[in-house]
Structure 1
Amino acid sequence: MVNINALDPGASPLDYYGFELRRCREAAGLTQRQLGDIINFTGSLVGQVETARKLPTLDFSERADAALGTGGLLSRLHPLVMRSQLPAWFQQVAELEVRATEICTFQMGMIHGLLQTPEYVRAVLGALDDTDLDDRSTVRLARQRIFEREEPPVFWSVLSEAALKQEIGGPEIMRGQLAHLLSFENNLRINIQVLPFSAGAHAGLQGSFNVYRFVGDPTIVYTEGYGSGHTTANPDTVRDCSLRYDHLRAAALSIKDSAGLIREVMEDRYGEQLA
């Protein structure tokens, strides 16, 4: 068992969170079990979070803040903890997602992580490795909280039709995932277009990519490989990828027609009967 007295708050955001939780709990004169009873979690879980052996959920953080009168400290730390648990090569991308005012993404064969359902996330992450699947899924889903900000980014997603038909996790999970995409149909900040097979050769044949735009900072392009990612603000690359994205949006179905195709795939491929 980790020695709580030796926990280094500077070792990682998770260690710092555990250190602060313990400090605030002891300042309130509560044992781990007493705090657990108040916030409806076990004292054992409180201890695991304090020793950086368990990731805190946002619900845990909010309840602990209320019980300990921390002024929202733990809830503010939570996003940092979640991002720190992402693969090292992806942490910079998660920070770009937080800062961007506009995100443009093209995906060849899979729904983008910011639009994935919990079930789809588990199916993707557990395809070859199901170790720590609960924590890894929680970390990926936490990225989606950028859409809950007071000023969320404008999000454009161009999906290849292949992403709708690549059956990840089985028909039920795919029905739920496509229904989730349809839930954004009237959201002016989350725009989904499908690039149909009938588009033929297109500007994204070289692979998936993301474009991040900011206020006052250069635009950044992100591409991904196996276990690695590459970001660049090179003006030539940014211009090329921005032009490619404009062509992809032009070749894709309209937002309305894209929703129609998503419904059609749900009915014909996954057996969803919609009224």
Structure 2
Amino acid sequence: MFGTGDRLERQGQAVRRTAILEGFPEYVSNEGRATEIRFFELGIVPGLLQTPEYASAITTGAVRRGAITEQQADERLALLAKRQASLERIPTPQVYAVLDESCIRRQVGDSRVMAAQLDRLVAFAELPSTVLQVASYDLGERRAFDLPLYVLTMPDRSLMSYAESAHKGHLERETAFVMPMLTAYHQLQAESCSQVESVALVNQARKGTR
């Protein structure tokens, strides 16, 4: 009746053809301009910090499960490479990463892949524009988030957040909704291990990959 049937069908087909969650492309376009990037991840090392081999192992697993096609896996890896390259822009964004301990304990790929990934985390922590923290298991119920979260500070100091479930992502621009997320993120940082302690945890996990 409203003449939207064909458009909605095309949109539905596009979603089924892509491996990228709704809302994520818009987030990525803003991430590439942000002056500060804050994120929390659990289960796997976040994309911005993944080595190519680790990222490939993740997508290969998804293909084997039938969750995505090989073409969609290539799409994910290409987008990830672009995101990582954008971090090298001038001026360099400040990046704050909090990883649940599960990210460094769960092996992805073989021991060589995992060892290289943990080495990558240590190298990331040594950069002048980054902060790496691990939210240890003993944080328990004090961990602020149960799903991945990203908070961006844009050049005009405006904020936006991005969160996702297994099937959908959501980009939020309203300050009234973003500020509580940022506050909770700061609380998570305060509760998490310091960068020195976090690097020690990563190195400890690294020994277990030999």
TM norm. shorter chain > 0.5? yes
Class of the TM-score when normalised by the shorter of the 2 chains: 0.7 to 0.9
Offset of residue 226 of structure 1: 2.0
2:13 aligned with 1:95, yes or no?
no
2:70 aligned with 1:131, yes or no?
yes
State the Cα deviation string for residues 81-127 of structure 1 (Å, max 9, x = none).
xxxx9736221111111111001001121111111000111111221
Q: Which has the higher contact order (CA 8 A, sep 6+)?
A: 2
Tell me which residue corresponds to 1:202: 142
Tell me which residue corresponds to 2:200: 260
Which shifted more, 158-167 or 135-144? 135-144
State the Cα deviation string for residues 160-187 of structure 1 (Å, max 9, x = none).
1011011111222111100001112321
Tell me which residue corresponds to 1:233: 173
Tell me which residue corresponds to 2:100: 160
TM-score normalised per structure 1: 0.63
Contact 2:41 2:100 in 1 (8 A): yes
> Which runs of structure 2 are paired with 1:187-226 in the superposition (5 Å)?
187-216=127-156, 218-226=158-166
- C-alpha distance in 2, partners of 1:148/1:86? 25
- Partner letter of residue 104 of structure 1? R
Instruction: Specify the SS of the correspondent of 1:231.
Output: strand
Q: 1:229 to 1:88 in 2, by over 3 A?
A: closer
> Which runs of structure 2 are paired with 1:57-68 in the superposition (5 Å)?
none
Tell me which residue corresponds to 1:78: none
- C-alpha distance in 1, partners of 2:76/2:99? 24
Q: 1:139 to 1:254 in 2, by over 3 A?
A: same
- C-alpha distance in 1, partners of 2:27/2:110? 29
Tell me which residue corresponds to 2:123: 183
TM-score normalised per structure 2: 0.82
- Partner letter of residue 92 of structure 1? E
- C-alpha distance in 2, partners of 1:186/1:168? 23
- C-alpha distance in 1, partners of 2:165/2:152? 18
Q: 1:99 to 1:118 in 2, by over 3 A?
A: same
Tell me which residue corresponds to 1:173: 113
- Partner letter of residue 126 of structure 1? T
Percent identity between the aligned chains?
Answer: 26
- Partner letter of residue 218 of structure 1? S
State the Cα deviation string for residues 3-22 of structure 1 (Å, max 9, x = none).
xxxxxxxxxxxxxxxxxxxx
List structure 1 runs of 4+ shifted beyond 4 angstroms: none
Offset of residue 264 of structure 1: 0.4
Contact 2:21 2:167 in 1 (8 A): no
Tell me which residue corresponds to 1:108: 42
RMSD: 1.8
- Partner letter of residue 35 of structure 2? T
Tell me which residue corresponds to 1:151: 91
Offset of residue 151 of structure 1: 0.7
- Partner letter of residue 96 of structure 1? N
